[in-house]
Amino acid sequence: MLVESAVQAQTGGTLVIGLDQEPPTLDPHASPSAVTYQIIASVTENLIYRGSDGKLVPWLAESWQSARDGRSVTFKLRRDVKFHDGTAFNAEAVKFNFDRIVDPKFKAGGARALLAGYAGSKVIDEHTVQVSFESPYAPFLAYTAAGPLSFVSPKAVRETGDQVHTRPVGSGPFMVKDYVAKDHTTMVRNPAYTRKAPWSDRAGGAALDAVVWKFVPEAGTRVTTLESGETQGIYLVPAQSLPRLEKNVALRVEKIPYPGAPRIWLLNTTRPPMDDVRVRRAINYAVDKDALLATVFKGIARKAFAPLTAAMLDDPTLRQAYPFDPAKAQALLAEAGWQPGGDGIRTRGSQRLEVVLNAIEYGGGPEPSAQLIQSSLREVGIDVKIKAQARPPWYEDNYRCATHGPVMFLRATDPDGLYALFHSSLVGGNFNWSCVKNAKLDQMLEQGRREFDGAKRRALYLAIEHLALEEALTVPLLDDLSVWAFRATVQGVKYTFATYPVLSDTAIRK
């Protein structure tokens, strides 16, 4: 009751939050981008909720039962849920949404990969639905709680067409009111929301009247808007501004570790000289991650050790892999036949030791981690050429395995995210840009999708990570933190496991 009365005493008002980018769409099924789910985490809802503690709890589903063969899950749905347009949420709506995602004519974002092997949904009665897969699919429950599998009104999708991209009709405590391209989108309180959200201690709607998400790409400008009070919250606090914001008693900084793959260099294992595992291992020993943290990412990231972030799977054995050791790197390169050259770059015969790192050009030159890799590797005699380019050709080069790989990160709420990085079927697709084809690794990744026992599953993914480290398929760089800053008067912001803010309990203290 104390929480409830505190929220009631501070209801109303508008919260303005500055985001680093404009979303490509607000349609949860069509978006490939995290910014979409930052905005709509309190607009659309899921069958299951997963908070920052990682536990799966009921949301739109009251309960669920997995079949013994692991190929289907039956959900009992709440009976008191309506979409913002007044239509009922029911088993037919679940089927419509999941069928929409896998429809070959629909341009899905990240949602389709989360329904791998989907065989259809069966409406058992109005509030019971069975979701089936062609083979056992253990990650499904975790993915059911992810933003891309949240629900939109079938009626609105059928009747409003492209409007779903700027005004998705969900069932959550907030509704999208407007969208102004390159400027902002506004969501307002849903007056019909009387349920208890799974992250809340109280029943009833949002405390705030509205939330305005402003698109402010320039980091310095974003920080200034917070300090001046033009915004009351911002996302993606730059490292150079962090100490100042943390000292300001009028502000509060919140850091949440991302799940999934860290900021990581995917090493193209098929392209010489990286087709030699000794070269790939040497690169891992040569990259100075501490320097990266100290110079560019101080306070907004932690050192990465493996192809999953520590928030996903942490183990002492992973932390021992590849300490910074330039001498070890040089010994491995010499063993592989690369000898010191006159200009500091190693050679083998007449060939110089060169690699091409694929980077996205954001307008201010290549990202800092690419530049630090370049200087680290030059110290051991490797000449790194940074190929900085726009996003479309960057993707195309990754699909064609045309460079020595990109630096990227992959947000995932299940260790099955490694399937996208390493399964041979995804060479030429998203995101096996190490271009690795390893039958043992494929087998283990497939087994991970079939294994439902938690302890066995953890042991299996730990073994997968060790294999990836042994083969030096990647250079794990940094475990990024999701960094938000708010005025101290903003209280009650909570976060999903994927680090997206849920705002129905958020209030602005007078």
Kindly state whether residues 180 and 54 are assigned to the same domain.
Answer: yes
- Checking if the pLDDT of 1 tops 70, the result is no
DSSP secondary structure string, 318-372?
Answer: HHTS--S-HHHHHHHHHHTT-B--TTS--EETTEE-EEEEEEE--SSSS-HHHHH
Q: Considering only CA atoms, which of 112, 140, 129 is closest in space to residue 63? A: 129
Q: So what's the pLDDT on residue 365?
A: 76
Average per-residue pLDDT in the chain?
A: 95
Kindly state whether residues 207 and 348 are assigned to the same domain.
Answer: no
User: Are the beta carbons of 53 and 67 closer than 8 angstroms?
Assistant: no
Confidence of residue 5 (pLDDT cuts 50, 70, 90): very low
Q: Judge residue 50's burial from the number of C-beta atoms within 10 Å of its C-beta, 0-12 exposed, 13-18 middle, 19 or more buried.
A: buried
Average pLDDT in the 174-201 region? Answer: 97
- CATH number of domain containing 324: 3.10.105.10
Instruction: Enumerate the β-bridge partners of residue 252.
Output: 486
User: Are the beta carbons of 77 and 88 closer than 8 angstroms?
Assistant: no
CA atoms within 13 A on the CB side of 378: 10
Residue 128 domain-assigned?
A: yes
Which residue segment(s) compose the domain that 303 sits in?
260-479
User: Are the beta carbons of 481 and 257 closer than 8 angstroms?
Assistant: yes
Kindly state whether residues 267 and 356 are assigned to the same domain.
Answer: yes
Residues 6 or more apart whose CB falls under 8 angstroms from that of 267 comprise: 274, 280, 283, 404, 405, 434, 472, 473, 474, 475
Residue 465 domain-assigned?
A: yes
Q: Considering only CA atoms, which of 270, 279, 271, 273 is closest in space to residue 335? A: 279
Kindly state whether residues 30 and 114 are assigned to the same domain.
Answer: yes
Residue whose pair of structure tokens reads 């949420």 in the numeric block = 89
Proportion of the chain in helix, strand, coil states, percent, rounded to 5: 30, 25, 45
DSSP 78: P
DSSP 478: E
Q: Which residue has the higher pLDDT, 92 or 364?
A: 92
- Condensed to tens digits (0 to 9), the pLDDT of residues 33-77 reads 999 999 999 999 999 999 999 999 999 999 999 999 999 999 999
- Checking if the pLDDT of 329 tops 60, the result is yes
Residue whose pair of structure tokens reads 């900085």 in the numeric block = 388
The full length of the chain comes to 510
- CATH number of domain containing 494: 3.40.190.10
Q: What kind and span of H or E run contains 80?
A: none
For residue 223, how far is the Cα from the chain centroid? 23
Residue whose pair of structure tokens reads 């290549």 in the numeric block = 366
Confidence of residue 241 (pLDDT cuts 50, 70, 90): very high
Q: Considering only CA atoms, which of 75, 78, 83 is closest in space to residue 151? A: 83
Average pLDDT in the 191-205 region? Answer: 96
In angstroms, the CA 372 to CA 357 distance is 12
Kindly state whether residues 379 and 426 are assigned to the same domain.
Answer: yes
Residue 245 domain-assigned?
A: no
- What is the number of domains present in the chain? 2
Kindly state whether residues 309 and 433 are assigned to the same domain.
Answer: yes
User: Are the beta carbons of 190 and 174 closer than 8 angstroms?
Assistant: yes
Kindly state whether residues 404 and 453 are assigned to the same domain.
Answer: yes
- Checking if the pLDDT of 196 tops 90, the result is yes
Instruction: Report percent pLDDT > 70 for the chain.
Output: 98
Q: So what's the pLDDT on residue 466?
A: 98
In angstroms, the CA 107 to CA 186 distance is 25
- Condensed to tens digits (0 to 9), the pLDDT of residues 83-141 reads 999 999 999 999 999 999 999 999 999 999 999 999 999 999 999 999 999 999 999 99
Instruction: Enumerate the β-bridge partners of residue 97.
Output: none
Instruction: Enumerate the β-bridge partners of residue 406.
Output: 358
Residue 241 domain-assigned?
A: no
Q: Considering only CA atoms, which of 296, 275, 233, 273 is closest in space to residue 501? A: 233
Long-range contacts at 426-433 (CB < 8 A, ≥ 24 apart): 427/401, 428/399, 428/400, 428/401, 429/399, 430/113, 431/266, 431/398, 433/266, 433/268, 433/398, 433/401, 433/405, 433/406, 433/408
pTM score, two decimals?
Answer: 0.92
Residue whose pair of structure tokens reads 């709420």 in the numeric block = 413
Kindly state whether residues 153 and 289 are assigned to the same domain.
Answer: no
Largest CA distance in the chain: 77
Which of 8-12, 368-372, 413-417 is the most confident on average?
413-417
In angstroms, the CA 433 to CA 420 distance is 9
Instruction: Report percent pLDDT > 90 for the chain.
Output: 94
Residue 243 domain-assigned?
A: no
In angstroms, the CA 427 to CA 405 distance is 12
- Checking if the pLDDT of 421 tops 50, the result is yes
Kindly state whether residues 390 and 503 are assigned to the same domain.
Answer: no
- Condensed to tens digits (0 to 9), the pLDDT of residues 429-473 reads 989 999 999 999 999 999 999 999 999 999 999 999 999 999 999
In angstroms, the CA 330 to CA 335 distance is 9
Residue 298 domain-assigned?
A: yes
Kindly state whether residues 285 and 310 are assigned to the same domain.
Answer: yes
Average pLDDT in the 257-266 region? Answer: 97
- Checking if the pLDDT of 363 tops 80, the result is no
Residue 252 domain-assigned?
A: no
C-alpha separations of 395 from 101, 217, 273, 278, 358 in Å: 22, 22, 22, 27, 9
Kindly state whether residues 274 and 206 are assigned to the same domain.
Answer: no
Kindly state whether residues 226 and 374 are assigned to the same domain.
Answer: no
Residue 250 domain-assigned?
A: no
Count CB neighbours of 244 within 10 A: 12
Confidence of residue 4 (pLDDT cuts 50, 70, 90): very low
